[in-house]
Amino acid sequence: MINNWFKTTLLMAAIVALFGVVGMALGGRSGMLIALLVGGAMNLFAYWNSDRMVLRMYQAREVDAASGGTFYALVAELAGRAGLPMPRVYVIDEAQPNAFATGRDPEHAAVAATTGIMRLLSERELRGVMAHELAHVKHRDTLISTLTATVAGAISALAQFGMFFGGDRERPNAAVQLVIMILAPLAAMLIQMAISRAREFGADEGGAAISGDPEALASALSKIEAHARGTPLATADLHPETAQMMIVNPLSGGDLQGLFRTHPPTQQRVSRLLALARQHG
């Protein structure tokens, strides 16, 4: 867990440093400030409204203790174990097995799971999955995603500023500026994806701690990976920006390899969880 947070901290420091270098090279102090303000305003709006937007996008229906049955009771039990307020609970009528958490903080959190994942997994495995999602809530990963998206968006805005207005004209090295304009947004995207992968590892470990059953989550991930690839999720294909929210990549085209993954390789996640299970007996 400490290793994942350390990695996240280093990556966030890297993206902030990248913003500083790009800002001074292309926009100077004034351009850098404008880009950060614009990016911050856009992502602040998303931070406060993204939960409602994404739940509506996936046509999720809210359930309660009466309509949610065992699934609702399972989430309530895990939230209590995690020391979290009870999140809103949603069900998505989709065949692909998947789940996600959203909300700006633990007091305004929501968790959602597809009917496909409920049919596929045993109750024990589903419990492992929802513990993973509640770990995202406990770790405030939505806030981390918003902060990195703000800085990455500001870097892209600065690059566009340079494309249209020629960068900071007080700086004579046009060739260096051109390279920065092209490569800086790509570098910011890669750092964002690396942060996303680190947070998935962190949620796996946190979920294992909440449920007390790392093997259940490992088994669930293997099953989900095997079935999700052959079962499309149309909303995710139309809105690929939501893919990083899911417990496994939902896109029918499959994950890009290496640095372009939004999720760590499932087998690597499973191996870590099984090692964690052995460590704790």
Mean pLDDT score, 189-197? 82
Q: Is the pLDDT of residue 164 over 80?
A: no
Residues in the chain: 281
User: What integer pLDDT is reported at residue 64 of this predicted model?
Assistant: 97
Domain of residue 203 covers: 2-279
- Rounded CA separation 90/101 (Å): 10
Active site residue 200: no
Mean pLDDT of the region 29-39: 70
Predicted pLDDT at 75: 98
φ and ψ of 98, to 5 deg: -165, 170
Place of tokens 């709006």: 45
Residue 39 has a pLDDT of: 64
DSSP assignment of 206-249? HHHHHHT-HHHHHHHHHHHHHHHTTS--HHHHH-GGGGGGBSS-
**Residue 1, pLDDT score:** 57
Task: Kindly indicate the confidence band of residue 3, based on its pLDDT and cuts at 50, 70 and 90.
Answer: low
pLDDT of residue 172: 46
- Residue 118 near residue 126, CB atoms below 8 Å: yes
Domains contained in the chain, number: 1
Residue 99, beta-bridge partner list: 113
What average pLDDT does the structure give for the chain? 83
Confidence of residue 163 (pLDDT cuts 50, 70, 90): low
Nearest residue to 233 (alpha-carbon basis) of 92, 126, 110, 61: 92
In this prediction, residue 229 carries a pLDDT of 81
The active-site residue, picked from 133, 200, 205, 215, is 133
- For residue 278, the model assigns a pLDDT of 93
Q: What does the pLDDT look like over 198-214, one tens digit per residue?
A: 899 999 999 999 999 99
Q: Is the pLDDT of residue 68 over 90?
A: yes
pLDDT class for 166, splitting at 50, 70, 90? low
Does residue 93 surpass a pLDDT of 90? yes
Are the CB atoms for 96 and 231 separated by under 8 Å? yes
β-pairing, 99-102 with 61-63?
A: unpaired
pLDDT tens-place string over residues 238-281: 888 788 889 998 986 554 555 567 789 999 999 999 999 999 87
Amino acid, res. 24? M
Q: 189 versus 82: which is more confidently predicted?
A: 82
Q: Which residues pair with 114 in a beta bridge?
A: 92
Mean pLDDT of the region 181-200: 82
pLDDT in tens, 129-154: 999 999 999 998 877 776 776 677 77
Q: pLDDT-based confidence at 101, cuts 50/70/90?
A: very high
